[in-house]
Amino acid sequence: MRIWHLVTLAALVAPRDSAAQQLSGMVQAIPVVTRADPTATRSALDEGYLTQPAAMGHVMWKQLQGIATLNFEGLTLKRGELTTGGYGEGYVDRRHPHSYVHELLAGVEGARSGVSASLFAGRGFAPFGSDDPMVRPFEKYPVNHHLAQILERVVAIGAVRAGPVIGEFGVFNGDEPISPGSSPNFDRFADSWSSRVTVLPVEGAELSASIARVASPEVRVGHGLDQHKASAVARFDRLTNDTWHYALVEWAHTNEMTRGITTTRLGSVLGEGAYCRAGTIVAGRIEHTDRPEEEPLADPFRTPRPSTDLSNLGVSRWTTFTVSLSSPPVRTGVLSARPFVEVERVHVSPGTPAGIFDAVLRYGSSSMWMLTAGIRLHAGMMHDRMGRYGVALPAMAMGTAGRAAASDSMPGMPMPTAMPMSHSAADSRCAM
């Protein structure tokens, strides 16, 4: 029942005076077909499903805000989404379905003497790493999802902004969800923390560094392996009515520890970019990420949760090259449909320590392909960012097509945080 307390908390910011409010909402879904050749069955698999079905909303009233993202993958992706190399929350070589309550937060923000500040609480992302891959240019999530983000926790996040510098600090429960409908372990709230500093050097660009201490994420009651995490991210994003330039480079590192002793070191380096003109989007991604290997269950795509011990079978190292091509959107009223295709070349090699993991025994090969085709369907204004709240959310660079990121470059003149996506961005032919 405590999860409904979060719903009530977020609902409290809903304004009674419609003239004073700003409100945005969106629904989305992506029907896809994926071929993985080979995958964990040592053969090719072809699967189709409805992925990323979600509803998003954002309401502002004076200094108060509410944010909600409901994700329905628990209904459409119970077996997980075929993603060779992916792992997390008891799934391997499949992406796990996300929690029904992906984000549900309420917050307040204000400004005085050239400094703005905000405080948000609810369920969502800890202030760490990069944006959720859901709002990035690829349908398939990268291997490093659980190294580069800390998601679906009960959080309390304070943020302060002075000119081009943003500082965030948050506390949260360390345990990750054990199923889409599971409630967080509220008894563990504030046993973990993270912090992120962001600098906005020029319009559309940002540099950030994060650290986190996460207590026993894979064992709900605690006493499992802890994680010490670090991340550095450089990002550029500029959108106009007819063009889009986007680039992201990130480094992430996680030490898994017990009683202060490091048992496993996991690293990741990722670079991705996208260019759009006249509605056609071309994107590419390169990734080099370590993955901890665990003994699978009878289902080769599942691993035990909670873990049966505090060790693993070794570390594998994944190198992926992904190319995506999206056609211009087809719009009918409020509905937008954008067909796309993604091709991914995957290579896996022994990591450090290699342990007893053998890619050829599991997959039949150390090099694999994934091909995905689908249609991005959405109606309304999608969040252009996911994982930042209040004054920690930089304004989107809109060129001459929309609002300028004035508050990013004018110290001493803090402005209220804008909606997650402006109407100008929603009207762009290059908006995702």
Class of domain 2-427: mainly beta
pLDDT one-digit tens code per residue, 151-192: 999 999 999 999 999 999 999 999 999 999 999 999 999 999
pLDDT at 411: 40
pLDDT of 121 higher than 60: yes
- Of these ranges, 18-22, 229-233, 241-245, 260-264, the one predicted with the greatest mean pLDDT is 229-233
pLDDT one-digit tens code per residue, 227-249: 999 999 999 999 998 999 999 99
What's the token pair of residue 78?
Answer: 């119970």
What's the token pair of residue 123?
Answer: 């369920």
| 337 phi and psi angles, rounded to 5 deg | -130, 120
Provide the percentage of residues in the chain whose pLDDT is more than 90: 78
pLDDT at 396: 67
pLDDT of 28 higher than 90: yes
Q: Write down the domain spans for the chain.
A: 2-427
Q: What is the DSSP string of 112-170?
A: ETTEEEEEEEEEE--S-SS--GGGSS-SSPPTTHHHH---SEEEEEEEEEETTEEEEEE
Span 345-356, average pLDDT:
94
pLDDT at 307: 74
